Amino acid sequence: MLLSVVAVIAGFVFLVWGADRCVIGASATARNFGISPLIIGLTIISFGTSAPEMLIAGIAALDGNPGLAIGNALGSNIANIGLVLGVTALLAALTVGSDIMRREIPILLAVSLLAFWLMSDGVLGFWDGVVLMAGLVLMIYLVVSLGRKSDGQADSAAAEFEGEIPKDMPTNKALFWLFFGVIVLLVSSKVLVWGAVNIAKDFGVSDLMIGLTIVAVGTSMPELMASVMAALKKEHDIAIGNIIGSNMFNLLGVMALPGLIAPGVFDAAVLSRDFPWMIGLTLLLFVMAYGFRAPGRITRWEGAILLTAYVGYMVWLYLSAVAG
């Protein structure tokens, strides 16, 4: 048990560090090749924090633990909105000034409903995975198109992303950090999955439950750190954009992997408990942040509501585990 706990902790630490190195290397490389900061921010930076979930999902599915992958995707989305945005808004009320971010919020809600519809038969099949992965490709295309249309315009997100991308990193150094970060992600993901599965076996709980709790919270740490630091620097669009991009990537890219690699039936609680909670929190985010007649804003009180909802979900999971 002790070795498994150490493996999980070490896996989380190196996952966070490896993801950071990957994002820095990839964004610096893209900038050196003349790609605009806005497009880099909407793609590499926004989706880069989901790299740990992607690697864990792939390795868990290959190892015959698709429940861990599904739990990680849904649990991370719930943690991103309830825990990460809740804590961030408590520290500093968030204003959505970017038109691009406002357009992405309803897309996130639509993606959530699509994933629920595909899995509503209780099976995450191969073709479900194909549809989700195709949706990821389409989403990236739409995001890049939005970025190109808004590039050079006075969108508040552009200036914020400009300050986050390394300006003077040589291409060879950027490529080194990119590839080294990928290697660290691969190794740390394998170690973390091994430790998490062993802990699940020792406690007699499902790999789904471990994915929804320990693994989901751990892989949401990059989003928490990125959003809190962005909020403290008054880069509110980055703070919220990280969550929107990460959640869409989790539902389309991360959720697709167990369908493509290990398709099959999943725990019924995913549809009756976890998906409704995630969709409910996504709807709350839409109501709070969209801004129907004025710029969207997540106040400290609304942050407290999100955090309370997340705590309530954790209590529900605990009671479900005890009852099971």
What percent of the chain shows pLDDT beyond 90? 35
Number of neighbouring beta carbons within 10 Å of residue 155: 21
Instruction: Please tell me the predicted confidence (pLDDT) of residue 38.
Output: 66
Give the tens place of pLDDT for each residue, 261-277: 999 999 999 999 999 99
| 68-107 pLDDT, tens digit each | 999 999 999 999 999 999 999 998 888 876 666 777 888 8
By CB atoms closer than 10 A (0-12, 13-18, 19+), residue 162 is middle
* 3 state DSSP class of 49: coil
**Cβ-contact 70, 255 below 8 angstroms:** yes
Where do we find the tokens 């962005």? 230
CA distance 178 to 29: 9
Rounded Cα distance, 165 and 172, in Å: 16
Answer CATH for 2-323 from 1.20.1420.30, 3.40.50.720, 1.10.10.10, 3.40.1370.10: 1.20.1420.30
Upper half-sphere CA count for residue 29 (Cβ side, 13 Å) = 16
